[in-house]
Amino acid sequence: MGDAYKELLGLDLPPERLQEVLAAYADILAEIRKLRALDLTDVHPAIVFEPTAPYRKMP
């Protein structure tokens, strides 16, 4: 399992440290699970791609 996390997440931690991180993440994950349950299918994320950004005038 440790290797799978390492491959999937790019998180190269010793197994015991990984367990600590996962344990600390549990409460946050519970909040993110609440968010996942919201149906926001028709809501555009608050991200705007701006292709002209590199052409902004720098000071």
Partner 1 sequence: MSGELWKQPLEKLAPAIRAGKVSPVALTEVCLDRIANAGARLDSFIHVSPHALDAARVAEREIKAGKWRGPLHGIPIGVKDNYLTEDMPTTAGSTAPGLSFPLRDSTAAATLRKAGAVLIGKTRTHEFAWGNVTPPVCNPWDLTRVPSGSSGGSGAAVSAGLCVAALGSDTGGSIRMPAAACGTVGLKATFGRVSRDGIVPHSWSLDHAGPLTRTVADSALMMQVLAGYDAADSACQAQPVPDYSKALDRSVRGLTIGVCRNHFFDNLQEDVEGAVEKAIADLAAAGAQVHELRIPLLEYGLGAIFAIELSSSTAYHDASLRAGRVPYYQPDVRMLVEMGRLVTGPDYLKAEQYRSALMEAYRKVFETVDVVIGPTTPITAWKRGEWTVQIAGKPESVLAASWRFTYPYNLTGLPAISVPCGFDRDGLPIGLQIAGRPFDETTVLRVAHAYERDHDWKDRWPQL
Binding site for partner 1 (CB under 8 A): 9-11, 13, 17, 20-22, 24-25, 27-29, 31-36, 38, 40, 43-47, 50, 53, 56-59
Contact call for residues 37 and 21 (beta carbons, < 8 A) = no
Q: How far is the CB of 49 from partner 1 (least distance, A)?
A: 12
Amino acid at 18: L
Q: How far is the CB of 14 from partner 1 (least distance, A)?
A: 11
Q: How far is the CB of 56 from partner 1 (least distance, A)?
A: 5
Contact call for residues 5 and 18 (beta carbons, < 8 A) = yes
Contact call for residues 20 and 33 (beta carbons, < 8 A) = no
